[in-house]
Chain A
Amino acid sequence: MMPKISVKNLNMAYDNYVIMRNLSFDVQQGEIFLIIGQSGCGKSTLLKYLLGLKRVSHKKIFYDGKDINSIINVHGFYGEKIGVLYQGGALWSSMTLAENVALPLETYTSLNGKEIEEIVALKLSLVGLKGFENFYPSQISGGMQKRAGLARAIALDPEILFFDEPSAGLDSVSAKRLDDLILELRESLGITVVIVTHDLASIFAIGTRAIYLDVESKTITATGTPHELLVSSNDKNVVAFLSRETKIVQS
Chain B
Amino acid sequence: MTKIAELKLENKNIAIISISGTWSIYEKHPHAEEFIETILSKPSIQKVDLKFVDLKSWDSALINFLIHILDSCESKNLTINGDNVPSGIRRLIELSRTSPVRNTPPASQKKSTMFESIGCVGLLVFFNLRTFLGFVGKLLIGIVFFIGGKVKIRGREFAVVLQEVGVKALPIVFLISFLVGFIIAFVSVLQLSQFGANIYVANLVGISMMREMGCIMTGIIMSGRTGAAFAATIGTMMVNDEVDALQTAGFSIINFLALPRVIALTLMMPLLCIFSSFIGILGGLCAAISTTNLTIVRYCAQTANVVCLNDFFVGIIKSCFFGFFIAAIGCQKGLQCKRSAEDVGLTTTTAVVTSITAIIVMDAIFAVIFSLLEI
Chain A residues proximal to chain B, CB less than 8 Å = 16-17, 40, 48, 51-53, 73-80, 82, 84, 86-88, 90-94, 103-104, 107-108, 149, 152, 162, 215-216
The answer, among A40, A53, A108, for a CB contact under 8 Å with B244, is: A53
Q: What residues of chain A lie closer than 8 Å to B242, measured between beta carbons?
A: 90-93
Q: Are A90 and B245 in contact (CB under 8 A)?
A: yes
Select the stretch in B24-32, B205-213, B248-256, B340-348 that faces chain A. B248-256
Instruction: List, in ascending order, chain B residues with CB within 8 A of A78's CB.
Output: 250
The 5 A-B pairs with the shortest beta carbon distances in the complex, nearest first, are: A79-B250, A76-B247, A75-B252, A90-B241, A90-B245
* Contact residues in B for A108 (Cβ distance below 8 Å): 250
Question: Closest residue of chain A to B236, judged by CB?
Answer: A93
Partner of B245, one of A48, A92, A107: A92
Please classify the interface of chain A as helix (H, G, I), strand (E, B), loop, or mixed, using the class held by over half of its residues. loop
Chain B contacts for A80, CB-based, 8 A: 250
Contact with A along B30-46 (1 / 0, CB 8 A): 00000000000000000
A86→B160 CA distance, assembly (Å): 27
Q: Give, as a whole number of angstroms, the nearest-CB distance from A40 to chain B.
A: 8
**B87 lies within 8 A of chain A by Cβ:** no
* A88-B250 contact, Cβ under 8 Å, with A17-B104, A17-B105, A94-B157: no
- Give A218's nearest chain B residue, CB to CB: B103
CB under 8 Å from chain A, chain B span 198-216: none
Cα distance A79–B248 in the bound complex, in angstroms: 6
B240 at the interface (CB under 8 A from A): yes
Q: Beyond A86-B241, A90-B241, A93-B237, is A77–B157 a contact (Cβ under 8 Å)?
A: no
Q: Which residues of B contact A17 (CB under 8 A)?
A: 104-105
Q: Which B residues are CB-close (under 8 A) to A91?
A: 242, 245
Say yes or no: A90 contacts B240, CB within 8 Å.
Answer: yes
A162 to B241 CA separation, bound complex (whole angstroms): 14
Contacts of B252 in A (CB 8 A): 74-76
Tell me, yes or no, whether B102 is within 8 Å of chain A by CB.
Answer: yes
Chain B residues touching A, range: 20 to 34
B-chain residues with CB within 8 Å of residue A152 when the two chains form the complex: 245
Given A53-B244, A53-B247, A94-B160, 5 more A-B residue pairs with CB atoms under 8 Å apart are A76-B246, A90-B240, A92-B245, A107-B250, A215-B102
CB neighbours of B103 from chain A (8 A): 216
Q: Are B248 and A77 in contact (CB under 8 A)?
A: yes
Chain A min CB distance to B233 (Å): 8
B253 cross-chain contacts in A, Cβ below 8 A:
75-76
Q: Inside 8 A of B244's CB, which chain A residues have their CB?
A: 48, 51, 53, 84, 86, 90
B contact residues around A84 at 8 Å (CB): 244-245, 248-249
Question: For the complex, what is the distance from the CA of A162 to the CA of B103, rounded to whole Å?
Answer: 30
Flag if A51 contacts B105 (CB, 8 Å): no
Residues of A within 8 A of B245 (CB): 84, 86, 90-92, 149, 152
* Bound-complex Cα distance A77 to B160 (A): 28
Complex: how many Å from CA A228 to CA B119? Answer: 56
Sample 10 A-B pairs with CB under 8 A, ordered by A number. Answer: A48-B244, A51-B244, A52-B247, A53-B248, A73-B250, A77-B250, A80-B250, A92-B245, A103-B249, A107-B250
Give the one of B103, B105, B160, B242 with max A CB within 10 A.
B242
Q: B8 → chain A, closest Cβ, in Å?
A: 43
Q: Are A77 and B240 closer than 8 Å at their CB atoms?
A: no
Rounded to whole Å, the gap between the CB of B151 and the closest CB of chain A is 11
Whether A107 contacts B251 in the complex (CB less than 8 A), given A86-B241, A92-B242, A93-B237, comes out as yes
| CB of A217, distance to nearest CB on chain B (Å) | 11
Chain B residues lying within 8 Å of A51, measured Cβ to Cβ, are 244, 247-248
Q: In the assembled complex, which residues on chain A have CB atoms less than 8 Å from the CB atom of B251?
A: 75-76, 79, 107
* Cβ-defined contact, B248 with A52, below 8 A: yes
Residue of A nearest to B237 (CB): A93
Expressed in whole angstroms, the Cα–Cα distance for A152 and B242 within the complex equals 12
In whole angstroms, how far apart are the Cα atoms of A215 and B253 in the complex? 33
In angstroms, how far is the closest chain A Cβ from the Cβ of B113?
22
Hey, which chain A residues are within 8 Å of B250, CB to CB? 73, 75-80, 107-108
A192 to B362 CA separation, bound complex (whole angstroms): 53
What is the CB-to-nearest-CB distance from B310 to chain A, in angstroms, rounded to a whole number?
Answer: 41
- The answer for the CA separation of A75 and B253 in the assembled complex, in Å, is 7
Residue of A nearest to B255 (CB): A75
Would you call A93 and B247 a contact (CB within 8 A)? no
A74 CA / B151 CA spacing, docked (Å): 13
Q: Which of A77, A94, A103, A215 contacts B247 (CB 8 A)?
A: A77
In Å, the complex CA distance between A31 and B365 comes to: 61
